[in-house]
């Protein structure tokens, strides 16, 4: 099960990379990146998963005393949360950029933004 999830995560990353490298439209590239980001998050979660354990929330279901044996590793979960936040931030920034580029150049084609080169 874990391996399937992990494989799915990597597949998403590859799909995202493929999309980002083949689509010339800025918005499509941004979407591709969010796909890849999701893939990364899935991979992280799958790495942190331990069979037969519960979520790392200390409440009535899991007592603090035996938490170490009962819950899965909370760190990847925390990482995923942070990564998602950062991913959102970057995506927002990219969208802002895309908007600004469109306003300036009236195009969303990455191949036409080559004023700087060499």
Footprint of other proteins (CB under 8 A): 13, 16-17, 20-21, 24, 26, 29, 33, 36-37, 39-40, 43-44, 47-48, 75-76, 79, 82-83, 86, 89-90, 93-94, 97-98, 100-101, 104-105, 110-111, 113-118
Instruction: Give the contacts of 51 (CB within 8 A, at least 6 positions apart).
Output: 1, 2
Closest separation between CB of residue 83 and other proteins, Å? 6
Which CB sits closer to other proteins, 46 or 60?
A: 46
Which CB sits closer to other proteins, 1 or 60?
A: 1
Nearest to 69 by CA among 86, 53, 93: 53
**Is-contact 50 19, C-beta < 8 A?**
no
Closest separation between CB of residue 60 and other proteins, Å? 24
Instruction: Give the contacts of 64 (CB within 8 A, at least 6 positions apart).
Output: 58
């Amino acid at each position: 099960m874990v391996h399937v999830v992990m494989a799915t995560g990597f597949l998403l990353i590859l799909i995202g990379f493929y999309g980002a490298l083949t689509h010339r439209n800025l918005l499509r590239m941004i979407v591709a990146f969010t796909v890849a980001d999701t893939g990364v998050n899935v991979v992280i979660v799958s790495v942190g998963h331990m069979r037969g354990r519960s979520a790392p929330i200390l409440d009535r279901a899991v007592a603090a005393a035996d938490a170490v044996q009962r819950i899965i590793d909370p760190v990847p979960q925390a990482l995923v949360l942070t990564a998602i936040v950062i991913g959102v931030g970057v995506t927002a920034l990219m969208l802002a950029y895309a908007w600004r580029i469109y306003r300036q150049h009236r195009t969303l084609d990455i191949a036409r933004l080559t004023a700087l080169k060499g």
